Structure 1
Amino acid sequence: MSNPPFGFGFPDPDKRRENEPSNSGGEQQPGSGADAFQQLGQMLSQLGQMLSQAGSSSGPVNYDLAKQIALQRLAGSGGSSMGFSAGDQSGDTAVRDAAHLAELWLDEATILPAGASTTVAWTARDWVDKTLPTWQRLCDPVAKQVSGAWMQALPEEAKQAAGPLLSMVGQMGGMAFGSQLGNALAELASEVLTSTEVGLPLGPATTSALLPANIEKFTEGLERPGSEVMVFLAAREAAHQRLFAHVPWLRQRLLATVEEFAHGITVDTSALEQLAGQVDPSNPASIEQAMSSGLLEPKTTPEQQAALNRLETLLALVEGWVDVVVAEAVGDRLPGADALRETLRRRRATGGPAEQTFATLVGLELRPRRMRAASALWKLVGDRHGMDKRDQLWSHPDLMPTAEDLDDPMEFADRLGRSGEAIDDLDPIAELERTRQAEEQAKSDEPGDQDDSGESGSKG
C-alpha cells in the first residue's frame, strides 16, 4: 500500500489553519493557570459547536459531515461554463441519445442483454448523493477496524480514566473519517466521467449515469468531437451495467472482498509508547506530526494481501471484459475509438482520481498491468472460442479466470477448449435467471420488511 488507508490520512495543515478562528481576544500567551483554563474553555466550546454542526450521524464515519464537506467544496469549485451540463435539457438529451446508440451496438458484441432500465445525466453533486450509500458499505468496515484498534490499544487504566470521554473520542474519530471521505469524494466527483469508472457498482442498480460537465472537461484535451466521446463513454457505462445487472454474484463478491480486507486491519499497539514520546501536550502540531509519522499505519497481513489480490483480479476481469466488448461493439463506427480506448487506459495507468481515492480510502491500488492482461485474455478467448463461450464464463464464479490465468492466457484458452463441452451445455441467461429467482424466493420467505431486504439485495 503506497497510501495509508482510511483514518490514517490528515488534512493539509495550511487549509486547517485557514479555517481556525483568529484570536481576537488579545495577545494571551500560554503559561499562567488562568490563561490555560480560558484556552481550555474556548477549546471545549469550539469542540461542542463543531460536534453539533457536524450532523447527527453515528458510527465509525460521520457521513453527514462527509456529504456536507463534499457538497461545499463542489459548490465553491464552480462548473463547466460552456456546452451542455447535467441538469440542462441538452445534457439529458445528449446522454440518452448516446446511451441508446451504445446499447444497440453492444447487442451485437455480447450475449448479456441491456442492464440499465434508465439512463441519467448527473452533476458532480448528484454523483456524491447517489453513490454515498455504496461508499458507506465500502468504508464502514475499514473505519470500524481502525477505530477498534485504537480503543484496544489504550491501556486499561487509560480507558477507565477516560470514561465518558471515550464516546467523544469516537465522535471525533467519526468526524476525522468523515472529513477525509468528504474531501476525497469532492475531488473524485469533479473528475469522474461515469458511475462505474472506479470499476465498482457505486450507483443505484440498473441505472446508467454519465456526468456531462466532467465529460466536457475531459474532451477539451482530446482532438475528438464531444458527441463521439459521449457515445464511447456511454458504451463503457452500459457494458458495466450489463455485467452488474445480469451476473448476480458479481456485485456481492466485489463488495464482500473489500469487507474481508477491512476485517483484517490491525495496528501495532507497541508503537504507542514510541508515539507518546514524540508528543508535546502543549504543542498540537507535535500530535499531528507524530500521527503522520507512519508508526500507527496498519500492516498488511497475508490474509489481507490475498483478499486484495482477489479483488484486483476480479476488478481487472471486469475492466478487461468491458474494454474488449466496447472495442468490438464500437468497431469502425467511431473513427477515434482506438485513441479513446488508449487514453482511458493511460488515465488508469497514471493513477487517475478513481485509483488515488480508492487507494486512500480502502488501501487498494488497481494495477494497470492486470487490466491489460485481462483484456488480452478476454480477446484471446473470444477469438478462439467465440463470443458465447467467452460470456458464458460469467454464469458462475468457479468458471472465471484466476490471477494465474492472467499470467498465462494461452494456457487458459487451451484448457477452456478441452473443457468446453461442459460450458457449451450451459444456458448462461437461464443460469443467471435461476440464480435471481432463487434469491428472490429466499427473500420472499423471510418474515417482515420484505421491501427493505429486496432493495438491499438489489444493491449488492
Structure 2
Amino acid sequence: MTSNPLNPSNGDENPKDPLAEMLQNLMGGKGLGDIDPAELAKAAGLPNDPNLLAQMFSQVQAMMSAPSEGPVNWKLAHDNARRVAAGSSDPSVTSAQSREVDEALRLAELWLDQVTDLPATGLIGKAWSRAEWVEETLGTWKRLTEPVANSVANALSTAMTEQMPEEMKSMMGGASSMLQNVGGAIFGMQLGQAIGALSTDVVSSTDIGVPLADLEMALLPGNVAKFGEGLSLPENDIRLFLAVREAAHARLFVQVPWLRGHLLGAIEAYARGIHIDTSRIEELARDLDPSNPEGIQEALSQGVFMPQRTPEQDQALQKLETALALVEGWVDELTAAATEKVLPSAAALRETVRRRRATGGPAEHAFASLVGLELRPRRLREAATLWASLKAERGIDGRDAIWKHPDLLPTAEDLDDPKGFSERRKLAEASDSEVDDALQKLLNGGFDSPADTEGEKADGEKTDEGDEGDAPKS
C-alpha cells in the first residue's frame, strides 16, 4: 500500500491534516515541512512550476507569519509601501539637493512674509527621498484609512471563509483561525502598494493638501524633477514655486492650530460612513485563483465600495471638499501673489498645479479606488476667487483673520457666491449681536417676569372696564 504524499502518517496512528500542517509550518516559518510541493500542486490543480510555487508559498507565508495588531496588517502595508517606493529608483538625497531645497524654502518664507499676516513657522526645510516620505506619513495614512481598512479586511476574511468548500473547512481543523489574518494581510499589502505609488508622485509633504507629516516642511527632489519634465521651464523656477506652496501650507497648518484636526476630522467622518459592497468581496473571494497571486490585488484596485451615499455621507463629503478647497485656494492665492513679480514662469506653473490638483494622477486614482477616498479640491478656483475678493475688500489682515476660528470659515454656499460672503457674514453677525444683547438684558433683569407681566395686563383690563363704567350716559 502506497502512502499518500498529501497525508503523511509519519508513523502515527492518526495521520496529520495536510492543510493544517502546511499552514502551521508556514506560520512558524518552516516552509512546507514534509509535504511535497509538486504533489500538493497536482492535487490542487496547479501547474507544477517551481518558480510559481515558490512565489505563491512565499506570499502565503508572509501573510500568515507577519505580526498584526487588529484586522489590518500594517507591517505588510509599511513593507510593501517601501518596496514600491524603491522600485522605480529612489536614491538617497544628496548634500547638494538638501542645500537647494533648504535655500528654496528659506527664500519662499521671505516672499510669503510680504503677502500674509500669518508669521513664519521657523521650521527647518528638509529634502526627502520617497522612502522617507513613506516613513514620515504612514502614521497619518493609518489614521485616515483605518475605518475603511478594518471593514474591508473583516469582510474579506469572512467571505473567504464562507466561500471555502465544506470538505476544506473540515480539513482546516485548528488551523482555521489562521485565515483570519489573510484578509488583513491582503488589504495591508494592497494599501501599501497604493501609498508606495503615491510616493512616486508627490512633490512635498503637503502636496495633496493634507498635513500628512506633523510640523514638517519638505520637498522630494526626485519627484520635483519628474514634475518638471516636459514643461520647458527653468528647474530653479519650478523648485522655488513648489517651495512657496509647501511653505504656505506649513505656515497655515502651524499658525492655525485647530485646522489640522478640523481637516483630518472631516476626512475621518467621511471614511467612517463608507459602505462596503460585500457582494463584490464575496465574488472576489469566490473567484480567487491561488495560482494568480496578483489577481486579488488587481481586483481590489478596482474598488469594492458601493457608489450610493447616505445623506450623512453627502454632508460629510461636502464639508470635506469645502475644507480642502479653502486650504488649497488660500495657498494658491498666496503663492501667486508671492511669485508673480519674481518668477516669470509663475502664471504657467500656477495653471499646471491647478490642473494637476483638480484631476489627480494615476496613483491618486488607484488610492481613491482602494479606500473610497478622493482628496482633491474640486472647487479650488472658486475658493481662490473668494480669498482674492476678501483681500480686495478687507486687506491682507482681514482676509487672514478668517482663519481665527472654524465658525468663521466660508461655506459651500459662499463658494457659489464669493462676493456675497461679506454681506451674509454681516447679517449673521448682526443676528448674533441681537441674541447677545437680549441675553445680556435678561441677565441684568431688564425683562419683567411672567407673573409681573400678567399682573400688569390684568390691571390694565380693570382700568379699561372702570373707564367704560364711568363714562356719561347718552
TM-score range, shorter chain: 0.7 to 0.9
**In structure 2, do the counterparts of structure 1 residues 167 and 107 end up closer, same or farther at CA, with 3 Å as the change threshold?**
farther
Residue in 1 that maps onto 2:38: 25
Residue in 1 that maps onto 2:95: 89
**In structure 2, do the counterparts of structure 1 residues 150 and 217 end up closer, same or farther at CA, with 3 Å as the change threshold?**
closer
What SS class does the counterpart of residue 139 from structure 2 fall into? helix
Residue in 2 that maps onto 1:202: 212
Contact residue 237 and residue 343 of structure 2 kept, 8 A: yes
Write the distance in 2 (CA, Å) between the matches of 1:281 and 1:245.
Answer: 49
Write the distance in 2 (CA, Å) between the matches of 1:141 and 1:277.
Answer: 21
* Cα distance, 1:270 vs structure 2: 7.2
Q: Give the TM-score taking structure 2 as reference length.
A: 0.70
* Cα distance, 1:350 vs structure 2: 3.0
Write the distance in 2 (CA, Å) between the matches of 1:175 and 1:289.
Answer: 11
* Cα distance, 1:116 vs structure 2: 4.9
Residue in 1 that maps onto 2:78: 67
1:87-140 Cα offsets, whole Å, 9 max, x none, are: 211111101111111101101111111235221000111111111111111111
- After TM superposition, list the pairs within 5 Å mapping 1:297-446 onto structure 2: 297-298=305-306, 299-353=308-362, 355-366=364-375, 369-416=378-425
What SS class does the counterpart of residue 125 from structure 2 fall into? strand
* Cα distance, 1:219 vs structure 2: 1.7
Contact residue 64 and residue 178 of structure 2 kept, 8 A: no
Residue in 2 that maps onto 1:226: 235
- Structure 2 spans left out of the alignment, 5+ residues: 1-35, 48-52, 433-474
**In structure 2, do the counterparts of structure 1 residues 103 and 354 end up closer, same or farther at CA, with 3 Å as the change threshold?**
farther
The aligned amino acid for 2:97 is: G
Residue in 2 that maps onto 1:132: 138
The aligned amino acid for 2:118 is: L
**In structure 2, do the counterparts of structure 1 residues 106 and 225 end up closer, same or farther at CA, with 3 Å as the change threshold?**
same
Moved more, 314-323 or 174-183: 174-183
Aligned: 1:122 with 2:128: yes
Residue in 2 that maps onto 1:258: 267
Identity among equivalent positions (%) equals 45
- Structure 1 spans left out of the alignment, 5+ residues: 1-22, 36-40, 81-85, 424-460
- Determine which structure has greater relative contact order: mean sequence separation of CA pairs < 8 Å that are 6+ residues apart, divided by chain length: 1
The aligned amino acid for 1:411 is: G
**In structure 2, do the counterparts of structure 1 residues 376 and 103 end up closer, same or farther at CA, with 3 Å as the change threshold?**
same
Write the distance in 2 (CA, Å) between the matches of 1:289 and 1:89.
Answer: 38
Q: Give the TM-score taking structure 1 as reference length.
A: 0.72
**In structure 2, do the counterparts of structure 1 residues 46 and 389 end up closer, same or farther at CA, with 3 Å as the change threshold?**
same
The aligned amino acid for 1:61 is: V
Write the distance in 2 (CA, Å) between the matches of 1:103 and 1:417.
Answer: 34
**In structure 2, do the counterparts of structure 1 residues 68 and 268 end up closer, same or farther at CA, with 3 Å as the change threshold?**
closer
Write the distance in 2 (CA, Å) between the matches of 1:215 and 1:290.
Answer: 29
**In structure 2, do the counterparts of structure 1 residues 421 and 187 end up closer, same or farther at CA, with 3 Å as the change threshold?**
same
Write the distance in 2 (CA, Å) between the matches of 1:411 and 1:311.
Answer: 22
The aligned amino acid for 1:69 is: N
Write the distance in 2 (CA, Å) between the matches of 1:47 and 1:332.
Answer: 55
* Cα distance, 1:290 vs structure 2: 12
Write the distance in 2 (CA, Å) between the matches of 1:342 and 1:175.
Answer: 41
Residue in 2 that maps onto 1:50: 62
**In structure 2, do the counterparts of structure 1 residues 145 and 73 end up closer, same or farther at CA, with 3 Å as the change threshold?**
closer
**In structure 2, do the counterparts of structure 1 residues 189 and 288 end up closer, same or farther at CA, with 3 Å as the change threshold?**
closer
- Counting matched residue pairs gives 385
Write the distance in 1 (CA, Å) between the matches of 2:113 and 2:391.
Answer: 16
* Cα distance, 1:300 vs structure 2: 2.7
What SS class does the counterpart of residue 333 from structure 2 fall into? helix
